[in-house]
Each structure stands twice: as C-alpha cells, then as structure tokens.
A and B are shown apart, each in its own frame.
Chain A
Amino acid sequence: MQKSILWVFIALLAVSCNQTTKKEGLTTEADKTEKIVTATINELLASPADYQDKEVAISGMVSHVCRHGGQKCFLVAEDGETQIRIVPGGEIDEFKVEMEGSTIAFKGIFRVLNAEQTEEHVEDHESKEHHDVEQSHSTAEKAEYFVEAIEFKDITP
C-alpha cells in the first residue's frame, strides 16, 4: 500500500517536471520568431486596422484592475484620458490589483471585435452590472478594441 502511494507521487512528479521543460522550450522558440510593433495607445486607436491581430508592445499606467478574477485591466494613454482594455492571454492567468498605479509594459496581440461581437461584449458587460456609476475606464471597457497580453513587466520609474 505504502509503496503504491509512493509510486503514484513519483509518477506525478515526473510528469510535472517534463511539462515544465516542454513549456520552456516553446517560449524560447516563440521568442526567436516574433515580430513586435511598438506603438502608443493613441496610435493603436487612431488606425486600429493597421494593427489588428498584430503583436504590439505598449506601456502606460494601470488605472484599474477588475476585482472579479483580475480578468482585465486598463492602461492610460499618454494624454492621461484615453484608456485601453488589456485581457490576460498566453501564460498570464490574471492581473493583480497591486498593478494599479504602476507603469506596465505589455506585449500582446491587438484585437478588434466586429460589430456583432462588440454588441455581445457590451450586453455581457452590462448584464453583470459591473459598476454602479460610470468609471473613467467605462469607454475602454465597452470598446471593440483590446490587447490580449502575452507578457508584461513593471517599469514604474
């Protein structure tokens, strides 16, 4: 009995270690081939079609992190008003509330929803009664554009 339990744990440990090695290999390969477009948030929003589905690098101050699972955060543009929605992608599970007020550099895919998807997104958002009052990030929250983050780094000065 004791021997069997020990073997089960050894097998699980071996599978887990193997997965970690594979993942590291993939990341290295992806790093070699990617092409990133560095842009400001306002540049992205001025001509979204030019950046749609491309890998972009943007940075700014995080104004808000969604409290319901950290599944989105909002980045303030250089003008101090415009904001963009960032959602976790790749290996990122969630955004931490500690990111609020920090300057973060994101690498990710710029996505633009079509009219139907946008309508669905707004309906879904409104059905959840997310905020009682209008927030500074409300426009970005309902917007058709967002960045699906793959990596991020705190670059707060």
Chain B
Amino acid sequence: MNWRKLNRWIHRELGFLFFGMTIIYGISGIALNHHAARHWDPGLITRSTTLQYPGTLSKSDVNRSSIEKILEITGEKENYKQYYFPSQDHIIIYLKGGHITVNMQTGSMQLTKVRNRPVFNELNYLHYNKPKKLWTWFSDLYAFGLILIAISGLFLIKGKKGIGGRGGILTIVGILIPLVFLIIYLWL
C-alpha cells in the first residue's frame, strides 16, 4: 500500500472511531476551562430565591417550631436535613438539594437550590476520568489516536496547500501560540 493511501486510511478511520470522544473532550474542555477561570460551575446549577421571614429572630428563639415555619414559607419541609449557626446573626438550614440562609437580624431568607447540570455533569465525569478502570485505557487509546490523527492530517494534501506551503505556516502558527503563552505567563 502506498504510504499516502495508508496515511489517509489512518486519518479517516480514526477520525470516525473517535468522533464521539472528540466531542466529549471538546465540550467538557470548554466547560472546565471556564470552571478553572471561575466563571461558572459546569457540574452544578445553583438557583437562589430571596424570601422574608415574618419578623426577626435571635439565636435563643430558634427552635423546632421556628425552623418548621421557615421550612413552610420556603416550601422545603420534605427536604430538611439539619441546621447550624455559622455566625451570631445567621442560621443555615441544610436541605436535600440546597440550603436556606437566614439573616436573623433582618428576617431575610435566601433559598439556594443546587442540582447537577445535565449533560455537562456526565461529560465532566468522563473528562476527569472518574470511571477509571477500562475508561483509562480507552481514553489513553483515544489520546494516542488523536496524536495519530494530527500527524496524519499534516500529510493529507500535497502541494501549495499542504505541509510544504500554507499548511506548514498554519502548523507553525499553531505551535507558536501556546509557546508565546508559556513564555509570557510561565517562563518570564
């Protein structure tokens, strides 16, 4: 078999085989990038609602009935777990799937509900290699496949648009960009 034909075969077959994996790692990669930059949490959806307790409270007022009243107002009676005082003026009531923070001085209550973000939660599970075991091997195989796809991609086209022409310039630019970031942010 001609080496160019073999190269095209490798590029095409691995491209098909690892299409799903590339989408998984691509989407979760964007999510994790922004997670690292602390823009948002790709794994969790957090929703907050502000409500008002009728009146104010002091630490000594807090008992079963005041907690039940708060749960009733917030509609979270079924989800109650435990409560504690993070400070002199606040109570946190923990719920299944969230918590209520009560400012005892003002009676202001913030109900925070937390749930897993669909799709991203699953993609991140795979990206972080949480399944381990066989997934480690398959994702290693994918990583190796990706290297082969990249290398074989360099030699797909001959001529001006290939590695000897415009393709080569783009390849160099693509290598230089991360290098510039390393020079500016890490090495200097």
A residues engaging B (CB < 8 A)? Answer: 8, 12-13, 15-16, 19-20, 61, 63, 67-68, 76, 80, 93, 97-98, 100-103, 128-129, 135-136, 156
Contacts and interface: CB of A to CB of B under 8 A. Distances in A.
Contacts, number: 51
A113 to B, nearest CB: 25
Interface residues of B, number: 24
Contacts of B38: 68, 128-129
Interface string B55-99: 000000000000000000000000001101111000010111101
Contact of B114 (A97, A102, A128): A97
Contacts of A128: 38
Contacts of A20: 133
A2 to B, nearest CB: 12
Nearest to A136: B86
B35 A101 contact: no
B85 A80 contact: yes
B35 A12 contact: no
Interface of B: 35, 38, 41, 44, 81-82, 84-87, 92, 94-97, 99, 114, 128, 130, 133-134, 137-138, 141
Given A61-B82, A63-B86, A67-B44, A100 B99 contact: yes
A13 B138 CA distance: 10
A12 B81 contact: no
Contact of A12 (B86, B95, B128, B138): B138
B86 A100 contact: no
Given A63-B86, A136-B87, A156-B81, A16 B44 contact: no
A156 B82 contact: yes
